[in-house]
Amino acid sequence: MVEIRRLVYHGEDALQPHEGILETITHNPTTNVYATSGDWVHAIELRGANRLLFISGTMGLRPDFTAPPTLEEQLVCVWDNLRAILASAGMTTANLVRLTSYLRDASYADANAAARLAALGSHRIPTTAIVVQTLSEDWLIELEAIAAD
């Protein structure tokens, strides 16, 4: 299945369908490859992107660099942090075209997916989750992303 959207950035609220700047083509084949679960896609092709934003690994830390004690709190922090970084570039989560999650424990996968779906709404992007040993055992989640407009 291929979905084509033409988008142009209209402020902080969202990308709105429009004949214009950014064309995204979702590649989500259903033959000769395993199916996605519906909450992510195999690939997104970008055409006409003016800017690409590569976002460094962003953790679920408070502004004072402390980690909340629970995964749920860190998931709130990491998405707040990601939104702040996107906003600094005049973008929103609607601009995300790729996301990699680094989880300290495999048991965090469902909560991580739920937080991603809540943050992205109906916007589906390629995503990968990897279980890693973080630099500090207090750091439970880290997100790395690419955004475009």
For residue 141, which of 94, 109, 104, 97 has the smallest C-alpha distance? 104
Q: What is the pLDDT of residue 22?
A: 78
Global pTM value: 0.81
Q: Is it the case that residue 12 has pLDDT exceeding 90?
A: no
The token pair at 55 is 């976002």
Domain boundaries, the chain: 2-47, 52-148
- Say whether domain 52-148 belongs to CATH 3.20.20.60: no
Q: What is the pLDDT of residue 21?
A: 65
Q: Is it the case that residue 77 has pLDDT exceeding 60?
A: yes
The token pair at 51 is 């800017």
